[in-house]
Structure 1
Amino acid sequence: MQSLVIVAHGSHLNPDSSTPTYDHADTIREADAFGEVRTGFWKEEPHLREVLRTVEGEEVYVVPLFISEGYFTEQVIPRELRLEGWDVDRWDSDGLSADQATLTATDTGQTVHYCGPVGTHEAMTDVLIRRAETVTDDPDVGDGFGLAVVGHGTERNENSAKAIEYHADRIRETDRFDEVTALYMDEDPEVDDVTDHFTATDVVVVPLFIADGFHTQEDIPEDMDLTDDYRTGYDVPATVDGHRIWYAGAVGTEPLLADVVLERAADAGADVGAAIERVRRTTAVAAGNR
């Protein structure tokens, strides 16, 4: 039996942090791609250190629900899963190309196919576009619109910005939107100045974050002047400096992300059959796209 484990950060402070992980696990479970689907977290239960012990299968595909390669995907997760012989060089990655490494979990003996994060997979580009469709309620959105892909950005991890730029470039190459720009919270160009980067009147803003939390629900809306106080809420779209800002919230809450998890596992050798197409059809209907 092949098993899937989706691993994520989780939070002791934000009870909604784990919601997307559970939702995507449920979607994949219903698609019957794996004998079992489990979830594990760094800051919640079941903990990463224990999650493989909840899995019955001897062959396990582990997919990190993280945006970029870095400390968690390269150090924390392999360490907590006790993956024997792990070395980041097994991925031979440039910060975007981590795919999979097959190792053994020392305490359970299971064969673990450890995958790269969902955030750097090419299929995430489709999720960002779907997010724009969902927030505008328009499956053909693009003409006359600008799109901003927003990331955290940090000097501590150069890979943090690579994923943002990668997907912004891919969307730009489709020529679907009039303008596509990568913006950041902690480095230039900053999301605070979103209207300075677009001539289009309508701008969709999609944060490349897994879950809605402090940054996506409080910081970004206030930084963009959608509201003076996030607790009072804001309109979608909201008018700022003559532009209509369609703020989508975290991309990780988009149901189509379940497809990226399946794609990661399939790239690592999992036999997912027609599950990917089933997930795409199911999530398209959920988004109002037929």
Structure 2
Amino acid sequence: MQALVIVAHGSHLNPDSSAPTYDHADTIRDVDAFDEVRTGFWKEEPSIREVLRTVESDEVYVVPLFVSEGYFTEQVIPRELRLDGWNVSDWESDGLSASHVTLTADDVPEKRVHYCGPVGTHEAMTDVIVRRAESVTGDPNVGGGFGLAVVGHGTERNENSAKAIEYHADRIREKGRFDEVQALYMDEEPEVDDVTDFFESDDIVVVPLFIADGFHTQEDIPEDMGLTDDYRMGYDVPAAVDGHDIWYAGAVGTEGLMADVVLERAADAGADIGDTLEVVRERTRKTPQAGD
């Protein structure tokens, strides 16, 4: 038997924080890719510390629903899972290339735990960002005449924080689908506050590389970009700002296709998922109309 465990941050303050994790777990559960699908959280129940005890399977694939490699994926999650012999050097990563490492856990030594890199650095996340642009505009062919801003938190304390943003912006730029592609940040230059300064395109799609909608994506970014003076009053999609139409997509992690990235991570670590990748892609292929 094989199990999938999706681990995420969660929040004691924001009840919506865990919603994407549960949604993607349900999607994967529905396609019968694994005998068991479990979720675990740092700030909610069930906790990461206890989740392995709830699993019966002897092969367990743990996928972190995080954007970048860093403190949580390298320290908190391995510690809470009690991974025996964990060493971040086992990933042999440059901040983008963490794949997986197979270990045991002190609590459940009879199980093999395949600990995977975060979803945010997987190449499949590029497609989710593009899908997010399709969803917010209601156009499966969106690209020509549009600019695309991929937005991250950014921090000088962790250089890996910006790497995932730059990585996906570069990959999308190389495809040539959008007229302009720019990586922007909340806490470092270039800042999302000045989004219209970085684009000539009349239409700009803004996709935050965040797992869940919360304080930053629902309050800070819309106000910083000038979509609204008060997030509680809402804003238009698209919203007119400095002569541009801003199509603000909200957190990329809420896109249904994220389940594909979770499956990709587990498959890369050796999980037998059959044709479920194709099934998930088909189920999430329909592009909703803007405003739905």
The TM-score by the shorter chain falls in which range? over 0.9
CA-CA distance at 1:102 after TM superposition? 0.1
Residues 138-192 of structure 1 deviation map (CA, whole Å, 9 limit, x = unaligned): 0000000000000000011100000000000000000000000000000000000
In 2: Cα distance, 1:126 partner to 1:287 partner? 16
CA-CA distance at 1:31 after TM superposition? 1.0
CA-CA distance at 1:206 after TM superposition? 0.1
Taking a change above 3 Å as real, the CA distance of residues 238 and 68 of structure 1, as seen in their structure-2 partners, is same
In 1: Cα distance, 2:219 partner to 2:282 partner? 32
CA-CA distance at 1:106 after TM superposition? 1.1
In 2: Cα distance, 1:285 partner to 1:193 partner? 33
What fraction of aligned residue pairs are identical, expressed as a percent? 81
One-letter amino acid of the structure 2 residue matched with residue 134 of structure 1: S
In 2: Cα distance, 1:60 partner to 1:129 partner? 30
Gaps of 5+ in 1: none
The aligned runs of 1:156-171 (5 Å cut-off) are: 156-171=157-172
In 2: Cα distance, 1:32 partner to 1:279 partner? 11
CA-CA distance at 1:286 after TM superposition? 6.2
CA-CA distance at 1:255 after TM superposition? 0.3
The aligned residue for residue 133 of structure 1 is 134
The aligned residue for residue 74 of structure 1 is 74
Normalised by the size of structure 2, how large is the TM-score? 0.98
CA contact (8 A) 2:140 2:287 kept: no
In 2: Cα distance, 1:3 partner to 1:285 partner? 28
CA-CA distance at 1:285 after TM superposition? 2.5
One-letter amino acid of the structure 1 residue matched with residue 122 of structure 2: H
Gaps of 5+ in 2: none
In 1: Cα distance, 2:257 partner to 2:280 partner? 7
In 2: Cα distance, 1:83 partner to 1:287 partner? 41
Matched, 1:29 2:29: yes
In 1: Cα distance, 2:98 partner to 2:222 partner? 32
The aligned residue for residue 190 of structure 1 is 191
In 1: Cα distance, 2:288 partner to 2:131 partner? 8
CA-CA distance at 1:287 after TM superposition? 4.1
Normalised by the size of structure 1, how large is the TM-score? 0.99
The aligned residue for residue 173 of structure 2 is 172
Where do 4+ consecutive residues of structure 1 move more than 6 Å?
A: none
The aligned runs of 1:50-129 (5 Å cut-off) are: 50-109=50-109, 110-129=111-130
Secondary structure of the residue that 1:272 maps to in structure 2? coil
In 2: Cα distance, 1:234 partner to 1:9 partner? 28
The aligned runs of 1:226-265 (5 Å cut-off) are: 226-265=227-266
One-letter amino acid of the structure 2 residue matched with residue 248 of structure 1: A
In 2: Cα distance, 1:259 partner to 1:34 partner? 14
Aligned length: 288
In 1: Cα distance, 2:57 partner to 2:164 partner? 32
